[in-house]
């Protein structure tokens, strides 16, 4: 066995989030030929998920859960402390095991955990590949608009320093690559694009004749994913309530820091036919199969340079998608190119309500045709087979230099 790979992962199974699955898929693929070690914090994502009921899996590689500080609930100070703590812990591991590492792949917390990992790797002359899932500090600035310009001014130079000193940077969309190269003054050749994948086999294994759900009882709109501040699920509730259609239901499936607030929001506004579901680990395809329409709400500016991980999962479920996202975003462009749904201006409940009312009157055949276009598009662009192979190749290239 030649080559030793260290994977730094901010989340990892049993956490049922996409980044955890990506890191696990990568570790499994690399462990066929290389000696792989994964470092991650104690499982904590998403907020509210019950890890006591999850059986820890067996890995074909070494997995070490570092005793670092965790902050699953949304908190600026807490998240910075979490990033600092995990970053220091991973840096110390790199210093202690430097002779046992040929290449580092870092899918870790921004910005401090990235900084400490890159600093340690550079000091020990170890190539490090930094995978960017979300652009910081811009994502943080969007959450605190009153201080956004100050946050960008203070923290963007740190992000630029991290990315310039990484051996290679992975972006998850072409638009993210262009944005990073321009705003961080980085040569575009320093950045590779690997789109976050979904394991298409988990979705394709469902029987094709079960694509359309039973609309006799309820026409079902569904959001499935992390229920956080960027998602905008409160706007889904307001729009759904405005339709006043008793034959429809809205399912909000998942966990997250905003779930309790949403439950209160439904109660305070007395909105009927809204259900909150938990999603057991591995049950995303089965759960999404119960929807007629899948909803993808994102606050203004939050999806301008990336593709949310739930979009490929939605497409593989072969369900029509309504996305409330910026019209010039990669997400909007993908939905339009695929012809698999509709794009509505974000944070506009009235426009969303009107579209909800329109689509629930469509026939099963029309909805199936639209949904299947999404699956065809996803098989070409978002499959695990294609994108995991691309990421493995990038890591292998750095090991042989």
Residue 156 has pLDDT above 90, yes or no: yes
Measured between alpha carbons, how far is 293 from 220 in angstroms, rounded to an integer? 7
**Tens of pLDDT, residues 45-93:** 988 887 876 656 677 899 999 999 999 988 889 999 999 999 999 999 9
Exposure string (b/e) for 129-157, b if CB count within 10 Å is 16 or more?
bbbbbbbbbbbbbbbeeeebeebbeebbe
Structure tokens at 311: 């979009």
Spatial neighbors of 64 by CB under 8 A, at least 6 apart, are: 37, 38, 39, 40, 93
CATH for 200-381?
3.40.50.2000
- CATH 3.40.50.2000 residue ranges in the chain? 4-197+383-400, 200-381
Closest-CA residue to 263 (of 274, 254, 273): 274
**Do the beta carbons of residue 128 and residue 166 sit within 8 Å?**
yes
pLDDT of residue 77: 93
Q: Which residues pair with 8 in a beta bridge?
A: 39, 106
Measured between alpha carbons, how far is 233 from 221 in angstroms, rounded to an integer? 12
- Which run of H or of E encompasses 386? helix 384-400
**Tens of pLDDT, residues 225-262:** 988 887 889 999 999 999 988 889 999 999 888 899 99
Alpha carbons within 13 angstroms on the beta-carbon side of residue 203 total: 27
**CATH fourth-level superfamily of 4-197+383-400:** Glycogen Phosphorylase B; (3.40.50.2000)
Spatial neighbors of 225 by CB under 8 A, at least 6 apart, are: 231, 253, 254, 308, 309, 310
Strand 191-193, strand 103-107: pairing: unpaired
**Tens of pLDDT, residues 18-37:** 899 999 999 999 999 999 99
Region 252-280: what's the mean pLDDT?
90
pTM, full prediction: 0.86
pLDDT of residue 230: 79
DSSP 82-134: HHHHHHHHHHHHHHHTGGG-SEEEEE--TTHHHHHHHHHHHHTT--EEEE-SS
pLDDT of residue 305: 63
């Amino acid at each position: 066995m030649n080559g030793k790979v260290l994977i730094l992962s901010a989340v990892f199974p049993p956490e049922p989030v996409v980044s955890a699955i990506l890191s696990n898929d990568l570790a499994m693929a690399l462990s066929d030929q290389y000696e792989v070690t994964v470092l991650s914090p104690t499982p904590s994502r998403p907020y509210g998920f019950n890890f006591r009921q999850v059986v820890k899996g067996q890995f074909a590689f070494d997995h070490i859960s570092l005793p670092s500080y965790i902050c699953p609930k949304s908190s600026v100070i807490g998240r910075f402390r979490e990033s600092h703590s995990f970053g220091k812990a991973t840096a110390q591991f790199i210093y202690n095991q430097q002779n046992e590492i040929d290449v580092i792949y870092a899918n870790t917390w921004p910005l401090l955990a990235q900084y400490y990992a890159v600093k340690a790797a550079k000091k020990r002359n170890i190539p490090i590949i930094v995978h960017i899932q979300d652009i910081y500090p811009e994502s943080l600035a969007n959450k605190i608009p009153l201080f956004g310009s100050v946050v960008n001014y203070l923290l963007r130079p740190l992000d630029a320093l991290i990315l310039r000193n990484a051996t290679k940077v992975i972006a998850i969309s072409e638009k993210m690559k262009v944005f990073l190269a321009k705003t961080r003054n980085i040569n575009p050749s320093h950045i590779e694009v690997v789109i976050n994948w979904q394991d298409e086999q988990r979705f394709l294994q469902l029987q094709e004749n079960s694509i359309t759900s039973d609309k006799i009882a309820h026409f079902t709109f569904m959001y499935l994913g992390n229920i956080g501040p960027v998602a905008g699920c409160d706007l889904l509730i307001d729009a759904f309530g405005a339709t006043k259609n008793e034959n429809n239901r809205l399912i909000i499936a998942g966990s997250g820091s905003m779930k309790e607030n949403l439950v209160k929001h439904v109660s305070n506004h007395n909105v009927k036919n809204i259900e909150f579901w938990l999603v057991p680990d591995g049950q995303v395809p089965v759960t999404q199969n119960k929807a007629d329409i899948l909803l993808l709400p994102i606050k203004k500016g939050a999806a301008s340079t990336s593709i949310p991980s739930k979009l490929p999962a939605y497409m593989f479920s072969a369900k029509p998608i309504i996305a409330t996202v910026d019209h010039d975003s990669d997400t909007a462009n993908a939905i339009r190119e695929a012809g698999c749904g509709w794009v509505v201006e974000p944070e506009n409940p009235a426009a969303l309500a009107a579209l909800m009312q329109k689509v629930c009157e469509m026939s099963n055949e029309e909805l199936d045709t639209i949904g299947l276009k999404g699956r065809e598009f996803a098989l070409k662009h978002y499959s695990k087979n294609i994108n995991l192979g691309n990421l493995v190749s990038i890591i292998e290239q750095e090991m042989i230099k």
